[in-house]
């Protein structure tokens, strides 16, 4: 887990970010800094803009105003070729896993390598696939189709596919949604394992307070379009604020 943020490189730095949909202000003067190797959780009510925030980070949504620096480069004005170079260093674990139903686990993991790692030999691709599956404890599922896997196994395969390109940043969108408490705990612990092994920087969007407690170094509370409070799990549960306490009770 991250020990000293003061000596860590800033990987993501967001300043005065605004995003509106018509008259609806979703993000309003949002500021956030995330350091290398840090697992950050973003919590807030449903529909408050958590997923909008991470989509703005990779410009799946275009912000109205503000600056987003990733790897010390402002991504808001850059062209798509430059943006794609940065996106290749960012892994996105979608809420539903987004596996291809007609492909085996091997083929699902092979797909991003074929698109982004041209010139690799068959043996190199296979080695990366095996390594990624071993990281999530699912080597034995390599020839299975997604419909042969449990919900927790699908999440693990989706994480293996995210890891296969060795991203510096991983964005987790509700990584434990729909899972039973035991499997949710396993996925949360896996997020920490990945952080420790690869020194990844992660943003976790979640409603799962146990996932936050296990996986996050820092929690940021999104309220009224901006980050209203930040701290560790232990710090935030002591806050004398009923609005914050609703997330921990």
Q: Record the pTM.
A: 0.89
Query: What does the block give as tokens for 12?
Result: 């993501």
Residue 217 lies in a domain: yes
CATH of residue 16's domain is 3.40.50.300
C-alpha 178/C-alpha 121 separation (Å) is 37
C-alpha 211/C-alpha 185 separation (Å) is 7
Q: Are residues 25 and 3 in the same domain?
A: yes
Per-residue pLDDT of 16-61, as tens digits, reads 999 999 999 999 999 999 999 999 999 998 888 999 999 999 999 9
Q: How long is the chain?
A: 249
Q: Are residues 154 and 204 in the same domain?
A: no
Domain limits for position 122 = 99-166
C-alpha 160/C-alpha 129 separation (Å) is 8
Number of domains the chain is built from: 2
Residues 208 and 184: beta-carbon distance below 8 Å = yes
Q: Are residues 130 and 172 in the same domain?
A: no
Instruction: Write the CB contacts of 240 (distance below 8 Å, at least 6 apart in sequence).
Output: none
Q: Are residues 214 and 131 in the same domain?
A: no
C-alpha 29/C-alpha 224 separation (Å) is 10
pLDDT for the residue numbered 1:
47
């Amino acid at each position: 887990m991250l020990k000293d943020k003061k000596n860590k490189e800033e990987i993501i730095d967001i300043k005065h970010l605004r995003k509106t949909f018509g008259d609806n202000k979703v993000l309003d003067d949002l500021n956030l800094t995330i350091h290398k190797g840090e697992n950050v959780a973003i919590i807030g009510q449903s529909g408050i803009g958590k997923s909008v925030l991470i989509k703005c980070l990779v410009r799946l949504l275009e912000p109205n105003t503000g600056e987003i620096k990733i790897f010390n480069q402002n991504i808001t004005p850059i062209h798509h070729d430059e943006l794609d170079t940065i996106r290749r260093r960012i892994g996105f674990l979608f809420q539903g896993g987004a596996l291809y139903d007609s492909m085996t686990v091997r083929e699902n993991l092979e797909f991003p390598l074929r698109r982004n790692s041209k010139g690799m030999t068959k043996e190199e691709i296979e080695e990366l696939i095996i390594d990624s599956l071993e990281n999530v404890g699912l080597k034995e599922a390599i020839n299975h189709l997604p419909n042969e896997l449990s919900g927790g196994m699908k999440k693990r395969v989706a994480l293996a596919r995210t890891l296969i390109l060795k991203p510096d940043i991983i964005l987790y969108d509700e990584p434990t949604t729909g899972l039973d408490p035991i499997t949710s705990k396993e996925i949360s612990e896996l997020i920490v394992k990945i952080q420790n092994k690869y020194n990844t920087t992660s943003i976790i969007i979640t409603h799962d307070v146990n996932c936050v407690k296990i996986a996050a170094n820092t929690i940021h509370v999104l309220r009224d379009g901006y980050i209203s409070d930040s701290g560790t799990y232990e710090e935030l549960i002591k806050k004398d604020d009923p609005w914050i306490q609703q997330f921990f009770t």
